[in-house]
Structure 1
Amino acid sequence: MKKNKEYIIPFVGLKPGTHRYEFNLDTAFFAVQGIEEVSGAEVAAVLDFDKQDHLMTLHFDFEGWVLLTCDRCAGEYKQPLSGKYRLIVKFGDQAEELSEELVVIGRDEYELDVSPYLYEFVRLLLPIKREHPVNESGQSECDQEVIGALDNLLVNTPEKEEETDPRWDALKNLKWS
């Protein structure tokens, strides 16, 4: 994947301390990252980049919304997003991801591309079950025509009485007191 200069932080020239970066994650960002289920977006990502001598701590703060397709009625809706994540970047002999919060990069690296981390953290903020929100009156904002059509398509199967052993039927009539 081609690196976008907007998301690359050249940390070699930075003085130790905290540096703030702000990113606007819009529809184009999600298209480049390959998130097909997001058809629109406006997410503000604030990165507090704390550079120290032997490691860097990245604090991500996300706020905004994405346009998703509802799993129930297939209509689009705005899903609010809000979350905070932390990432620790250490220097080592070879690049590797040790855990969700700890990444090792080579000692000869001089810049850090944060776009994969922005992508990962936004993916974690997306809900598994995607449905329209419920309004103030407690009703779903799903397209009621579609929901009605789906309800009409449901096949109503008559409930079968469970066959039981006649020897045990007498026990059903016992009252426990």
Structure 2
Amino acid sequence: MKTAVCFIVLCALISASSQARSIIKRPLPNPGFKINSANNQNEETCSFTVRIVTSCSSVPYTRDRISISFGDAYGTQVYAPRLDDPSARTFEPCSADTFDIYGPCTDQICSMYVYRSGYDGWLPTRVEVYGDTTRPVSFDYDEWIPAEMWYGYDYCSPYAVTTAARSSKTKINNEVKPEEV
């Protein structure tokens, strides 16, 4: 009997431990997100390829303004305003659009935010980033992007970066909406 009770307690602990580690990986709004508007002239410029897959369930076309920002654990951000272009049939359903973006070189990308401004709506499936100085990374969306807010992922751990390294790469953040740039 004692062995059975110990076995049940052990199974309960293992189950609770595995549930504590499972994190729901879905995009979230970030009302406090700020675009790094610091002048990056002194930084090395790197090339990134961003591939955005639009869901087959999305609207037939969108005239909404679509912007993205992605970054690393040191606070380095790459910002791409206005990726949309309705005349070029960007972000149509069942499509994949590829963009070449240049920005400051990053360490491993761990955050991705999308900003949508407009009334049409847009349903992306996935955003993938390939860069010169980082491993490829993919962020699954499969959710309608809400209007007028940064929406996405932040897996950047503040504990993954040492204080000395962080202070050497400190940026000045000011809030900027994509349409203000």
* Shorter-normalised TM range: under 0.3
Q: Which has the higher contact order (CA 8 A, sep 6+)?
A: 2
- TM-score, length-scaled by structure 1: 0.26
